[in-house]
Each structure stands twice: as C-alpha cells, then as structure tokens.
Amino acid sequence: MTANTLVLIEHDRREVKRASLHAVTAARELGGSFALLLVGQDLEEMAKSLGSLGAETVILADDTALAEPLADRYAVVAANVVEKLSATTLLGTSSTFSKDILPRAAALLNAPMLTDVLAITKTQNGISYQRPINAGSMLATVQLAGARQVLSIRASAFAAPEADAAESPTERLEIDSSALPNGTRFISREERMSDRPDLTEARVVIGGGRPLKDKDTFDRLVGGLADTLGGAIGATRAAVDTGLAPNDYQIGQTGKVIAPDLYIALGISGAIQHLAGIKDSRIIVAINKDPDAPIFQTATYGLVGDLHQIVPQLIEALQQG
C-alpha cells in the first residue's frame, strides 16, 4: 500500500476531533492518494467511523503503549508510517496535539514543516503555501524544498470534508512497544467536563476580557450569554492571566483560533494578538464601554456601553425570542 499524503487524526479517546478532519480537505487539494493515521488504544470502532472519507486506507496504531499522546512515541509511529507508505506529505490540523508531534516527526523524516497553512496553490513552479506570520499581521507565501514535507493546516481555512462513497479498509499496524522511546511518562490530565460545545468547533462563541473584573461576573455574563445561545466561552490573554478564565479558553496568537458564525466580544479592547484568533468569524459583535476601543474597527456590530447593564438585557431579549 502506498499513499501520497498521510493525515494524522486527533481524538479525545471518545471521539474524533472534527477539526482534525479538515486536514482531509487539504490532502484532497494537494492531490493524489491519502491515508489516515489514528493512534491510541482501543480505537477499532473509531477507525471504522473514518472509513467514508475517501482514504486509501485507515491505519490504526492501537496499543497500550500508545494510550496517551506522548510526542516521542507518536512521532516515531507517524514517521514510520510515512516511510512505509512512501508518502511525501505528513499533514494535520493545527492544535496543541499536532504542534507537539508533527515537528518532531518532521525532524525524524529530515523534512521541513509549515505551521498554520491557510491556502495551497499549485503553480508551474510547484506548490506554494500561504500562512500567517507575526500574529497574523502579515501573510507569507512560502515554498518548500526536499523530498518530504510536513504541514499543519488551520481548520478555519479548509472546509469539513464531504463523505466519499467508497469504504476505506482499516489496516492495523504492528506495534513493537519495546522499540518505542521510553523517556516520557504520562501522569495526569485535568479535563473539565462541560455541556458547552468545543471552543474551536462552536457555531457561537462568547469572549470575555479583563473588564469583567472577577470570576463570578465572568461566569454570570459570559457564561450566561453563552448558555442562552448554546455557545462556547473564550477569553483574552489578559482575562486568563488575571484568573478570570482557565488557560485553555484563551483565543489569539498563542491560544486558539476560532471561526464561528457569531463571535460576541464582551469588554475586549481588540489587541492584535486577540484579533489574530477571531478575524475569521463570520459576524463579530463588540460590546465595550470605550467608544475608541480598536475592536470596533473589526466588529460587524458595535455597541458602546456598560457590560453589566447590556449583557443582562441582551440575555433577556434573546430568551424572549
């Protein structure tokens, strides 16, 4: 079995991360055949669920030694499968999972890597890639040399893949766990169970900034509006740094990049580092008491005023339908 591109799929042990499937669309744009790689433990069913995406094969690396996403082990598995398939591209969707593993796999493959690819363009002189640099203040068009390459793509820049009629077979990879690196140990993960949708996949996101002052106010206003609209919660770096919200809520250059239908920014001034994470949102609403806040130059709809009065009114108006 060979394939031109290998797509690394991300999951949370219960289900596949939908954003990670957007890399399949990028694989189709690159052209040629592609395979999917699923790594973990007890994922037979999950592998089957990936069977209708048009892949040549779904490769399942399933072993107790791979139960947790340790970069040294996962990178070896990904690089080995690339070699086995004679693939030229290793691909994933940008996330802390892929940013941990893919560059390490690139080094094992003696290949360059591009992070956060936004567009793939085929030209007479080969393929060029567009990616944001400097907090998204500039877009760079880049070409890669060498026999192989590794890419992580922005989920918001590539659509979710449409189903393909043909069923892909699952191929179980032989894992010799004694040959895997053994220098890293998983200890624990703090995962908050939430009824709210995933921040990077939500249709509606409510973001909060430092003016929300304390955690109770943040939860009441940002959380209240999010629950009214069935949305997810995000925050600025300043709000995270002051303890108003946990770090995995951070949106921006060094946090998450979102592209919901509706983003409502509460008490967010609009620093470029935050805007880098929200500018692909379809509709942006800004509510801020400072009429000169830069966020108003980016927002589709701006409302100047006090959050403490406006947000409860807004929740009430939305609840009334």
Partner 1 sequence: MKILVPFKSVPDPYESAAPGGSLATAKSVINPFDEIAIEEALRIRERGDAAEIVGLTIGPAKVDEQVRAALAMGVDRAIRIDDARPLDPYAIARILRAAVEKEAPQVVLMGKQAVDDDSNQAGQMLAGLLSWPQATFVSRIEFIDDKARARCTRETDAGLEVIEVNLPAVITTDLRLNEPRYVSLPGLMKARKKPIEVQTCDQLGVNVQPLTTVLTTERPSRRLAGVRVESVEELVKKLKEEAKVL
Q: Which 12-31 residues touch partner 1, going by CB under 8 A? A: 12
Q: What are phi and psi of 274, to 5 degrees?
A: -80, -45
| C-alpha–C-alpha distance, residues 238 and 71, integer Å | 30
Q: Are strands 126-133 and 119-123 parallel, antiparallel or unpaired?
A: antiparallel
What is the smallest separation between the CB atom of 66 and partner 1, expressed in angstroms?
15
Question: Binding residue for partner 1 (CB under 8 A) from 85, 202, 299, 307?
Answer: 299
The set of residues, in sequence order, having a beta carbon less than 8 Å from that of 189 and lying 6+ positions away, is none
Q: How many residues bind partner 1 (CB under 8 A)?
A: 87
Using CB under 8 A, pick the residue from 49, 52, 80, 128 that binds partner 1. 128
Question: b/e string for 32-69 if b means 16 or more Cβ within 10 A?
Answer: ebbbbbbbbeebeebbeebbebbbbbbbbbbbebbeeb
Q: Give min distance, CB of 277 to partner 1, in A.
A: 12
The residue from 1, 159, 160, 318 that contacts partner 1 (CB under 8 A) is 318
Give the residue, chosen from 113, 175, 233, 293, that forms a contact with partner 1 under the rule CB under 8 A. 113
**Contact in structure between 221 and 308 (CB atoms under 8 Å):** yes
Q: Which position among 41, 86, 177, 254 is part of the footprint of partner 1 (CB under 8 A)?
A: 254
Mapping DSSP to helix (H, G, I), strand (E, B) and coil, where does residue 232 land? strand
The first and second tokens of residue 138, run together, are: 């500039």
Instruction: Pick from 70, 235, 258, 293 the residue near partner 1 by CB under 8 A.
Output: 70
Answer for which of 29, 72, 164, 171 binds partner 1 (CB under 8 A) is: 72
Query: How many angstroms separate the CA atoms of 128 and 119, rounded?
Result: 8
The Cα–Cα gap between 101 and 222 comes to 33
| Closer residue to partner 1 (CB): 138 or 163 | 138
Q: Taking CB under 8 A as the rule, does residue 67 contact partner 1?
A: no
Binding mask 261-280 for partner 1 (x = CB under 8 A): xx---------xx-----x-
Of residues 32-61, which lie at the interface with partner 1 (CB under 8 A)? none
Q: Which stretch binds partner 1 (CB under 8 A): 30-38, 54-62, 160-168, 310-318?
A: 310-318
φ/ψ bin of 246: left (φ > 0), alpha (ψ from -120 to 50), beta (otherwise): beta
Of 59 and 284, CB closest to partner 1:
284
Does 161 interact with partner 1 (rule: CB under 8 A)? no
Question: According to CB under 8 A, which residues from 173 to 232 bind partner 1?
Answer: 181, 183-192, 200, 204, 229
Residue 71 parent element (H or E): helix 71-85
DSSP state of 295: G
* Nearest distance, CB of residue 44 and partner 1, angstroms: 23
Q: Write a three-state SS string for 93-110.
A: ECCHHHHHHHHHHHHHCC
Residue 310 binds partner 1 (CB under 8 A): yes
